[in-house]
Amino acid sequence: MTAGHLYRIGKDWYADAALLQRAARRHVVEPMQGAYQILAPAGLVRCVPAHGLALPGQSGDLFRCQAQRATQDITPILRDLALSLGHGAIGGEWDAWPASAAAPGHACGCTACKTGGASRPDPDTVALPSLAERLVASEALGTVTTRATGEQLAIYPSKNGAMEWACGRYHECIGSILQFPDLDHERIARVTFRPRTSITWDIVLDRQRRLMLQEILELVGRQLALIEREGAVRPSRPPMTTPGFYAWDLAAVSAEDEGPCDVCPYRFGSNLRCKACRRKCLGRKQTPAADQARRLSDILAEHEGLRVLPRATLRNLGAAIAASHEHNPHAPLTDAFFVRLERDVLAAAGPLAIGDAATLALVETTERTPLYADIAVGGTKRAA
């Protein structure tokens, strides 16, 4: 039986995670506030997590299906959806919860299933099965959504914003220009990336939006070609003034020999906006140095631009960085984490009057320290 099922229990309907993946190949499936919505032919279906429940043949987590309105009967919508997905889409119908229901998450064939663990598809990728779709979502910063139709990707306006791992910095003004308040669910364009990027426009856009979207799609085409040659690509680096810039640089170098990430579309460990890549970076941690302040002052002293500073100044700065790492309330390596870290170190450096060149060297070195194997950050034990 084909993976991915809908189930009816009495008047209630459920879908497993594999069904969402299956539906995404034919219809638009969008993340939405911890849940998903399927733009099915007969109407919108909202899928919310059904924690702790399981059904026979289930692949991945289970979701309860809801109509757009509480009074709407969702059964005709789901039967029509099942018909569009082909044979085996309905995995079973019962008047009461079946006694044969097994523990969730042992049927989809993923590594977790094979080893007896729970299959939990990453919520950021369940609706984006292909690398090309993830690249478009990232480079366009979530302003458009995609739907695969054979070799083509259909491009639609997105109403849900960017996923966390989106890090397209090809244009700093993407979010302000690629807005579509004048469109509903109209298809904007269709694109094929092989043998070269070819775009068919379905509606007339103004020149600014059309040129920006065209450039982004052509960039994705070049990235896909590079992936075929080298196995993976790294994301564009942020501007130098962005907090965390030097950590991004070090992460990319450290991921040089890695393949593509399973969550984001970039080289594993190179995208600090991706949870999986951050976990990879933090997974290199060893036993922390016993005296963090001293170890950090030694790291600062290794930078040529900081060697001129008195040892006492370096010790003060090392202690300030250690305190910031310990008390930073944000998950390590996230954008917010680096904003807080930069503020803390600049506040500590201010009274010391170390000069502009030394301050820049201080920021550069400080932002790289969370990636050192023996440097502890307060949130290392929290989820990345």
What average pLDDT does the segment 214-238 reach? Answer: 92
Residue type, 28: V
pLDDT at 79 (0 to 100): 92
- Preceding amide of 351 cis, omega within 30: no
pLDDT band at 2 (very low <50, low <70, confident <90, very high): low
Within the chain, what is the greatest distance between any pair of CA atoms?
Answer: 78
pLDDT at 171 (0 to 100): 67
> Backbone dihedral region of 69: left (phi > 0), alpha (psi from -120 to 50 degrees) or beta?
beta
DSSP category for residue 260? B
pLDDT surpasses 80 at 301: yes
pLDDT surpasses 70 at 307: yes
When mean pLDDT is compared across 84-88, 167-171, 275-279, 366-370, the lowest value belongs to 167-171
List the one residue out of 232, 157, 221, 233 whose CA is nearest residue 192.
221
pLDDT surpasses 80 at 128: no
pLDDT at 56 (0 to 100): 85
pLDDT surpasses 50 at 200: yes
pLDDT surpasses 80 at 51: no
pLDDT band at 205 (very low <50, low <70, confident <90, very high): very high
pLDDT at 212 (0 to 100): 93
When mean pLDDT is compared across 11-20, 193-202, 280-289, 366-375, the lowest value belongs to 280-289
pLDDT surpasses 90 at 107: no
Q: Taking the alpha carbons of 72, 76, 79, 83 in that order, is the dihedral positive or negative?
A: negative
Mean pLDDT, the chain, as a whole number?
A: 84
Dist. CA 340–CA 325, nearest whole Å = 10
The torsion angle over the Cα atoms of residues 280, 228, 143 and 124, rounded to 10 degrees, is: -40
Dist. CA 125–CA 263, nearest whole Å = 6
pLDDT at 120 (0 to 100): 38
pLDDT band at 100 (very low <50, low <70, confident <90, very high): low
Higher pLDDT, 227 or 378: 227
Q: What are residue 347's phi and psi, to 5 degrees?
A: -65, -40
Higher pLDDT, 51 or 15: 15
pLDDT band at 170 (very low <50, low <70, confident <90, very high): low
pLDDT at 104 (0 to 100): 40
Burial of 310 (0-12, 13-18, 19+ CB in 10 A): exposed
Query: pLDDT tens for residues 319-342?
Result: 999 999 999 999 999 999 999 999
Q: Which residues contact 182 (CB under 8 A, 6 or more apart)?
A: none
Q: For residues 24 and 146, is the Cβ–Cβ distance under 8 A?
A: no
pLDDT at 75 (0 to 100): 93
Dist. CA 308–CA 357, nearest whole Å = 11
Q: Taking the alpha carbons of 231, 252, 241, 384 in that order, is the dihedral positive or negative?
A: positive
In the block, residue with structure tokens 């502890």: 376
Q: What is the DSSP string of 348-362?
A: HHGGGT--HHHHHHH
Q: For residues 179 and 246, is the Cβ–Cβ distance under 8 A?
A: no
pLDDT at 374 (0 to 100): 92
pLDDT surpasses 50 at 110: no
pLDDT band at 33 (very low <50, low <70, confident <90, very high): low
pLDDT surpasses 80 at 53: no
pTM equals 0.64
Higher pLDDT, 22 or 1: 22
Query: pLDDT tens for residues 275-298?
Result: 889 999 988 888 899 999 999 999
pLDDT at 313 (0 to 100): 93
Q: What is the DSSP string of 140-155?
A: TTTSEEEEEETTEEEE
pLDDT at 172 (0 to 100): 65
Query: pLDDT tens for residues 347-356?
Result: 999 898 888 9
The residue count of the chain comes to 384
Higher pLDDT, 109 or 357: 357
The torsion angle over the Cα atoms of residues 134, 137, 138 and 143, rounded to 10 degrees, is: 180
In the chain, what percentage of residues exceed pLDDT 70?
88
Residue type, 32: M
pLDDT surpasses 90 at 268: yes
Q: Which two tokens stand for residue 293?
A: 């302040």
Q: How far apart are the first and last CA of the chain?
A: 37
pLDDT at 31 (0 to 100): 81
pLDDT surpasses 80 at 32: no
Is 139 in a helix, a strand, or coil? helix
